[in-house]
Amino acid sequence: MTLTRSATAVKEPLPRDYKKWFCGTLIATAGNVAFTVALQWTATAHGGVAAGLVLACGVLPQMILLLIGGAVADRVGPRRVMIITLAAMVSVALSLSAIAALVGTSVPLLVLYSTIAGTINGFHLPASSSMVRRLVNQDQLPRAHATQKAGQQIAAFAGAPLGGVLAAAGGLASAALIDAAAFAVVVIALLSVRPDFTPAPAERPTSLRQDVRSGIRLAARDPLLRPSLLVMAATAAFFAPVGPLLIPLLVRMHEWEATAVGWILAAQSVAFFIVAALVSRRGALNRLGPTSAAGIVIMGVGVVGIALTPNLALAIVAASAGGLGYGVAATHLTPLVINASPPSHLSRTTATMAIAQNLSVITTFVGSGGLAETVGPATIALVDGLLLTAIGIAALGARPFRQA
């Protein structure tokens, strides 16, 4: 089996509409990350329980509405849905800024904002996630997706410290103004692009409930989507707890300085960024399935290394390996899933993808935290790494995935 890059995808420049969209989302990501940091800081001033409540109120309605939001986007078009949801977010952010400046940031206000934002995101995220595929050719998707991922990393690096400055200097009110301006930039970008979208035939009307069921049936029955989504969910389940949960616990266990957490996570992020930038520049490998599986195996090896080493330098090297594998898997597996979906179901497929990952991550976050207290974080990290390696190997057992 020979893995080669797609020459056509590398030679052809990405479309102008995609570049407009990319620039708009880059600004929006930086603004939203800055606002999120300020929101988290403001919420923690009311205590851990209040901060957790604010976070949960943003996640729960989003999770509940994702499939419905995907069905709506596939029915009326993602561009129209995004313009409406982003305009709504601009209004909500401006309202939050005004209220916070006038009466302060009470817990009920923060909970109300998170609930409204989570509800809007339930419709926005499926439409947004399907936009890249509608703006580029199928063979350009891996490059476009990698470009987006690399850009998001840069935007997050810029947005996080900006959020800290805004939280300290101007508070949540100023951060909300930045967020509103960032959303407005994306609206302007959307007004100037024309994504590929063909409405469902009028002679075969269906209800929204039927559209949702159709998306679920596709994910459950398609010979390529089903194993791909299962691999994606399983990988997210055992890799997601490593960075925010297990690495800080391992650092405490080894009695390293707190800065060690930053170095390890930075090594992982830098390795991911390098892979995303390379794929953006040179293109992905043609065999998306086997390449994704290889990336997952490398992720597992990296996590095993983090679990077993008592040396900080070696932990940084292992984290770099994990980030490298994560970059390879992410830049190949997501395009594989999106390209496997028919155009009529793109937004519903991305919604199913998000739900599969989020549900598995929520479950393992809770379980990993409790088990780490019982058997130790090194054991949990070791098990996670071994399971990731097994997932990568087992993924090749599905013929459609292996041949993709």
pLDDT above 60 (res 231) = yes
Which has the closest alpha carbon to 151: 8, 35, 19, 258? 19
What is the pLDDT, as a whole number, of residue 201?
Answer: 58
Average the pLDDT over each of 43-57, 95-109, 234-248, 313-327 and give the range with the smallest value: 43-57
What is the pLDDT, as a whole number, of residue 245?
Answer: 81
Between CA 334 and CA 316 the distance in angstroms is 26
Q: Give 278-320 pLDDT, tens digit per residue.
A: 998 888 877 899 999 999 999 999 999 999 999 999 999 999 9
What is the pLDDT, as a whole number, of residue 200?
Answer: 58
Q: Which residues of 79-99 are buried (b: 16+ CB within 10 A; e: fewer)?
A: bebbbbbbebbbebbbebbeb
What is the pLDDT, as a whole number, of residue 294?
Answer: 95
What's the token pair of residue 330?
Answer: 């992410």
Q: Give 370-386 pLDDT, tens digit per residue.
A: 788 889 899 999 999 99
Phi-psi region at 342: left, alpha or beta (left = phi > 0; alpha = psi -120 to 50): beta
pLDDT above 80 (res 323) = yes
- ∠91-94-96 over CA atoms, to 5°? 105
What is the pLDDT, as a whole number, of residue 321?
Answer: 96
pLDDT tier at 275, thresholds 50, 70, 90: very high
The residue that leads in pLDDT, 59 or 2, is: 59
pLDDT above 50 (res 3) = no
pLDDT above 60 (res 8) = no
Q: Mean pLDDT, to the nearest integer, of 392-396?
A: 92
What's the token pair of residue 197?
Answer: 């979208």
Q: Give 16-55 pLDDT, tens digit per residue.
A: 999 999 999 999 988 988 888 888 888 888 887 787 788 7
Please state, for a pLDDT cut of 90, what percent of the chain lies above it: 46
Phi-psi region at 400: left, alpha or beta (left = phi > 0; alpha = psi -120 to 50): alpha
Query: For the chain, which domains are there?
Result: 12-195 (1.20.1250.20), 211-403 (1.20.1250.20)
pLDDT above 70 (res 96) = yes
What is the pLDDT, as a whole number, of residue 362?
Answer: 76
Three-class secondary structure assignment of the chain: CCCCECHHHHHCCCCHHHHHHHHHHHHHHHHHHHHHHHHHHHHHCCCHHHHHHHHHHHHHHHHHHHHHHHHHHHHHCHHHHHHHHHHHHHHHHHHHHHHHHHHCCCHHHHHHHHHHHHHHHHHHHHHHHHHHHHHCCHHHHHHHHHHHHHHHHHHHHHHHHHHHHHHHHCHHHHHHHHHHHHHHHHHHHHHCCCCCCCCCCCCCCCCHHHHHHHHHHHHHHCCCHHHHHHHHHHHHHHHCCHHHHHHHHHHHHHCCCCHHHHHHHHHHHHHHHHHHHHHHHHCCECCHHHHHHHHHHHHHHHHHHHHHCCCHHHHHHHHHHHHHHHHHHHHHHHHHHHHHCCHHHHHHHHHHHHHHHHHHHHHHHHHHHHHHHHHCHHHHHHHHHHHHHHHHHHHCCCHHHHHC
What is the pLDDT, as a whole number, of residue 7?
Answer: 42
Q: Mean pLDDT, to the nearest integer, of 140-167?
A: 86
Mean pLDDT of the chain: 88
Q: Mean pLDDT, to the nearest integer, of 144-158?
A: 86
What is the pLDDT, as a whole number, of residue 2?
Answer: 41
- Answer for the pair 97, 154: CB distance below 8 angstroms, yes or no: no
The residue that leads in pLDDT, 369 or 374, is: 374
Average the pLDDT over each of 9-13, 116-120, 325-329 and give the range with the smallest value: 9-13
What is the pLDDT, as a whole number, of residue 199?
Answer: 62
What is the pLDDT, as a whole number, of residue 204?
Answer: 64
Between CA 365 and CA 248 the distance in angstroms is 14
Q: Mean pLDDT, to the nearest integer, of 133-151?
A: 88
Between CA 266 and CA 40 the distance in angstroms is 21
Q: Give 190-220 pLDDT, tens digit per residue.
A: 998 888 766 655 556 678 888 899 999 999 9
Q: Cα–Cα distances in Å, from 309 out to 254, 313, 316, 324? A: 10, 9, 10, 18
pLDDT above 90 (res 344) = no
Task: Please identify which residue in the block is written with the tokens 């810029």.
Answer: 158
pLDDT above 60 (res 6) = no
In terms of average pLDDT, the best of 80-94, 242-256, 361-375 is: 80-94
Give the number of other CB atoms < 10 A from CB of residue 204.
6
pLDDT above 60 (res 1) = no
- Answer for the pair 331, 282: CB distance below 8 angstroms, yes or no: no
pTM for this predicted structure:
0.81
pLDDT above 50 (res 111) = yes
pLDDT above 80 (res 366) = no
Give the number of other CB atoms < 10 A from CB of residue 349.
27
